[in-house]
């Protein structure tokens, strides 16, 4: 793979340092990515508080059910708590409520549907029902992480509702499942990480906003170096997390809240948004900045955490339009921080929008190409495994389709890696459970509950690796099944998991349901369309004075949509890059290089908007139309998988550096995604056309 070429602007300076695209170059002597991904471990701090919640979640519920003679109800409640624990991730309490509550509600609905189908229809009706639910589940996964978790719980719970023989009416089973999840939500509200002494209210939201300023300082320090791309991505991720935290804070206010403190925090986040925008323009410029520039965001981060003023900030030294915009944003932030310091009485300025907001219609939906591909892939795998399971078992057939549901979700990582780790984790979990039974002479109810308590505590820690998570969940599920009366389930789980892995590996890689051009191409098409709408907005004629604030808010919302779409496209490209090669994955493009080019397109568009806002003359209307049309045409080409031949984008306007960059990178994306079968796409095509 070749490293994309670089170009010089009119002054002859290098616009993008080699570090910007260095990660595209990979040595072919290394092990293939689809193989090394199996062992990749996600690093994260030890979630001690979440582990305590996990220990107090499923285990006590199962013990209570056994103690009152309702082991079936206890199993369902413990199952709800276990699946809720999988979604118990770091973040604010409001974020936890949404990320746990929405999947729990979907899971209880799925269990209700599954139990009703089992009560009123025959066994084989499970196959068409799971096909339909699987299609909806896969399509919902295209809407984002929370919807994906909710769709997965709905599918798994539907399978369990139809296949696990537990006594009781359907509504009671769903209620027991939901009560287990609610119990973990209560623990999430009561048990949280301790705050430092003197920490103000909304410490989670304050920390999220402060993290934006810290990430900004890191990005400024990395400008011009090899860590600049990753630092900039961390900055965008921190901004999106803070935006979500503040929106949830407004949607779900706590009793006796202080509206003044909430407004101050949102104003300070507005300053962070402006600084982030200016920093992206600095990154587009590609020049290192003095170390003192990063001191301002560091002091602003400390002021957010303490609720106090920002203090003295570094003096501005603007020498370019981009640096002028950043220094101006720092000065405006200082004014906002002085006004929003605790005890200040000046009114809030209306100039800065509160958050980046959202724009309806930019989130992928059920009927997009990616949604249809996701849905068909999940539906086929789950229904085929359900049919095989029904041929093998009269009862307890749910393990095969439930395993397929965990494996085949396309947004959760490459399929081959998940299959290998799922089988390895299941083997480890079964061996641990069998060893416990052998060592303790058979697991009695107290020991089963103890095993669930220990395994429940490990669930938050196990998210670092899929095999580890599978092993922990296997121990939990075998304990649940043992408590429900099936004491011989361990041995059959290995065979059933092996069958599910083989079926998913074959069906999930069928050309009809595993086309990387659909999965990654759709994501990049969404990114380009969002960029087109953002450019049209910022380069249109100025709004009247009375509509300026509304226009600024829409511009921030559009820009936020661009970077969310870019993050999703990059994640899709990374997943496609580590899928199985050859006939399994079909002809593949160099999506890693496409991600780099798309990132440069978005940065150049942001820089264009900022330069116009700071006095640079607007490009001619004809040039704007030509660039936005090129964005739209290339997005259509990526969306339909190049079933229709489209011409390459033309050269960019000579008088606008940023729009010229946009057209240059669009030409590179066109070359990378339309290269012939015989000649591989060259990343060097990112040079000026």
Q: What is the pLDDT of residues 363-402, one digit of tens each?
A: 445 566 667 777 888 899 999 999 999 988 777 788 899 9
The confidence band for 676, taking pLDDT boundaries of 50, 70 and 90, is very low
* Residue 289 or residue 81, greater confidence: 81
pLDDT for 156 equals 92
Helix (H, G, I), strand (E, B) or coil at 14: strand
Mean pLDDT in residue range 169-180: 93
Highest mean predicted confidence (pLDDT) among 253-257, 370-374, 455-459: 455-459
* Residue 167 or residue 496, greater confidence: 496
* Residue 50 or residue 616, greater confidence: 50
Which of 179-188, 242-251, 573-582, 669-678 has the least mean pLDDT? 669-678
pLDDT for 259 equals 53
* Residue 316 or residue 64, greater confidence: 64
pLDDT for 360 equals 36
Q: Please check whether residue 80 is in contact with residue 180, taking contact to mean a CB–CB distance below 8 angstroms.
A: yes
The pTM for the full model equals 0.78
* Residue 488 or residue 210, greater confidence: 210
CA–CA separation, 589 and 524 (whole Å): 13
Which of 177-181, 280-284, 444-448 has the least mean pLDDT? 280-284
Residue 254: count of CB within 10 angstroms of its CB: 12
Handedness of CA 73, 76, 82, 84 (dihedral sign): negative
CA–CA separation, 374 and 377 (whole Å): 5
Q: Please check whether residue 335 is in contact with residue 538, taking contact to mean a CB–CB distance below 8 angstroms.
A: no
The confidence band for 495, taking pLDDT boundaries of 50, 70 and 90, is confident
Tokens of 591: 């999506």
Q: Which residues are within 8 A (CB) of 46 and not within 5 positions of it... i.e. 6 or more apart?
A: 461
CA–CA separation, 388 and 409 (whole Å): 20
Which strand (E) or helix (H) includes residue 482? helix 466-483
Backbone angles phi, psi at 309, to 5 degrees: -75, 165
Q: Which residues are within 8 A (CB) of 452 and not within 5 positions of it... i.e. 6 or more apart?
A: 58, 59, 62, 78, 476, 479, 480
The answer to whether residue 546 scores a pLDDT higher than 70 is: no
153 class by beta-carbon count within 10 Å (0-12 exposed, 13-18 middle, 19+ buried) = buried
Mean pLDDT in residue range 455-479: 91
The answer to whether residue 543 scores a pLDDT higher than 60 is: no
Query: Between the CA of residue 390 and those of 260, 386, 393, 550, what are the distances in Å?
Result: 60, 6, 5, 58
CA–CA separation, 527 and 522 (whole Å): 9
Which of 448-452, 533-537, 654-658 has the least mean pLDDT? 654-658
Q: Please check whether residue 647 is in contact with residue 522, taking contact to mean a CB–CB distance below 8 angstroms.
A: no
CA–CA separation, 170 and 597 (whole Å): 52
**What percent of the chain is predicted at pLDDT more than 70?**
77
The confidence band for 16, taking pLDDT boundaries of 50, 70 and 90, is very low
The answer to whether residue 70 scores a pLDDT higher than 80 is: yes
Mean pLDDT in residue range 252-257: 62
Mean pLDDT in residue range 430-455: 85
Query: How open is the CA angle 112-116-117, to the nearest 5 degrees?
Result: 120
The confidence band for 354, taking pLDDT boundaries of 50, 70 and 90, is very low
CA–CA separation, 631 and 642 (whole Å): 15
pLDDT tens-place string over residues 118-143: 888 878 888 999 999 999 988 888 77
| Residue 14: strand pairing partners | 8
* Residue 13 or residue 189, greater confidence: 189
Q: Please check whether residue 107 is in contact with residue 154, taking contact to mean a CB–CB distance below 8 angstroms.
A: yes
Mean pLDDT in residue range 521-542: 83
CA–CA separation, 294 and 656 (whole Å): 29
Q: Which residues are within 8 A (CB) of 522 and not within 5 positions of it... i.e. 6 or more apart?
A: 364, 368, 369, 370, 638, 639
Average pLDDT, the chain: 77
Which of 55-64, 137-146, 623-632 has the least mean pLDDT? 137-146
- DSSP assigned state of 22: G
Backbone angles phi, psi at 654, to 5 degrees: -75, -30
């Amino acid at each position: 793979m070749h490293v994309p070429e670089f170009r010089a602007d009119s002054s002859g300076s290098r616009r993008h340092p080699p570090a910007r695209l260095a990660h595209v170059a990979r040595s072919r002597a290394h092990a293939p990515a689809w193989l090394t991904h199996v062992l990749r471990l996600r690093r994260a701090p030890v979630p001690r508080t979440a582990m305590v919640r996990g220990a107090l979640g499923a285990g006590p519920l199962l013990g209570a059910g056994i103690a009152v003679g309702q082991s079936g109800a206890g199993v369902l409640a413990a199952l709800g708590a276990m699946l809720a624990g999988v979604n118990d991730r770091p973040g604010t309490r409001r974020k936890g409520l949404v990320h746990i509550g929405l999947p729990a509600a979907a899971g209880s609905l799925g269990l209700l549907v599954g139990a009703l189908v089992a009560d009123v229809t025959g066994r084989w009706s499970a196959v068409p029902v799971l096909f339909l639910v699987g299609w909806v589940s896969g399509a919902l996964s295209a809407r984002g992480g929370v919807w994906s978790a909710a769709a997965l719980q709905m599918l798994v719970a539907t399978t369990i509702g139809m296949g696990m023989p537990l006594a009781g009416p359907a509504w009671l089973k769903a209620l027991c499942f939901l009560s287990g999840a609610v119990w973990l939500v209560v623990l999430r509200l009561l048990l949280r990480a301790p705050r430092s002494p003197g920490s103000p209210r909304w410490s989670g939201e304050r920390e999220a906003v402060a993290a934006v300023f810290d990430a900004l300082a890191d990005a400024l320090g990395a400008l011009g170096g090899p860590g600049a791309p990753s630092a900039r991505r961390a900055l965008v991720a921190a901004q999106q997390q803070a935006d979500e935290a503040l929106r949830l804070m407004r949607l779900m206010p706590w009793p006796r809240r202080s509206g003044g403190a909430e407004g101050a925090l949102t104003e300070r986040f507005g300053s962070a948004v402006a600084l982030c925008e200016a920093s992206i323009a600095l990154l587009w410029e590609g020049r290192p900045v003095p170390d003192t520039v990063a001191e301002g965001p560091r002091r602003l981060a400390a002021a957010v955490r303490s609720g106090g003023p920002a203090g003295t900030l570094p003096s501005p030294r603007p020498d370019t339009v981009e640096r002028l915009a950043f220094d101006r944003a720092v000065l405006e932030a200082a004014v906002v921080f002085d006004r929003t310091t605790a005890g200040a009485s000046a009114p809030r300025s209306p100039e800065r929008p509160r958050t980046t907001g959202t724009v309806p219609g930019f989130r992928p939906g059920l009927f997009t190409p990616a949604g249809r591909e996701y849905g068909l892939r999940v539906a086929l795998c789950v229904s085929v495994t359900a049919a095989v399971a029904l041929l093998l078992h009269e009862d307890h057939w749910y393990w095969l389709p439930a395993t397929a549901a965990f494996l085949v979700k396309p947004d959760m990582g490459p399929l081959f890696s998940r299959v290998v780790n799922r089988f390895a984790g299941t083997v480890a979990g079964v061996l641990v459970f069998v060893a416990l039974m052998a060592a303790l002479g058979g697991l009695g109810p107290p020991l089963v509950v103890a095993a669930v308590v220990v395994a429940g505590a490990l669930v938050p820690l196990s998210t670092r690796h899929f095999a580890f998570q599978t092993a922990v969940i296997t121990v939990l599920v075998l304990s649940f099944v043992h408590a429900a009366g099936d004491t011989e389930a361990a041995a059959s789980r290995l065979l059933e998991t092996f069958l599910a892995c083989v079926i998913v590996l074959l069906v999930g890689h069928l050309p009809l349901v595993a086309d990387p051009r659909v999965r990654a191409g759709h994501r990049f098409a969404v990114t380009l369309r969002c960029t087109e709408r953002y450019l049209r907005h910022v380069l249109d004629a100025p709004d009247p004075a009375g509509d300026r604030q509304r226009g600024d808010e829409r511009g921030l919302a559009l820009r936020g949509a661009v970077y969310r779409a870019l993050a999703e496209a990059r994640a899709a490209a990374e997943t496609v890059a580590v899928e199985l090669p050859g006939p399994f994955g079909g002809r593949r493009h160099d999506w890693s290089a496409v991600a780099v080019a798309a990132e440069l397109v978005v940065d150049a568009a942001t820089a264009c908007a900022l330069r116009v806002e700071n006095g640079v003359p607007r490009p001619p209307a004809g040039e704007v139309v030509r660039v936005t049309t090129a964005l739209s045409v290339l997005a259509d080409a990526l969306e339909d998988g190049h079933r229709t031949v489209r011409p390459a984008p033309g050269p960019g306007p000579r008088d606008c550096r940023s729009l010229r960059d946009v057209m240059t990178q669009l030409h590179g994306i066109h070359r990378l995604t339309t290269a012939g079968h015989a000649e591989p796409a060259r990343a060097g095509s990112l040079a000026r056309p």
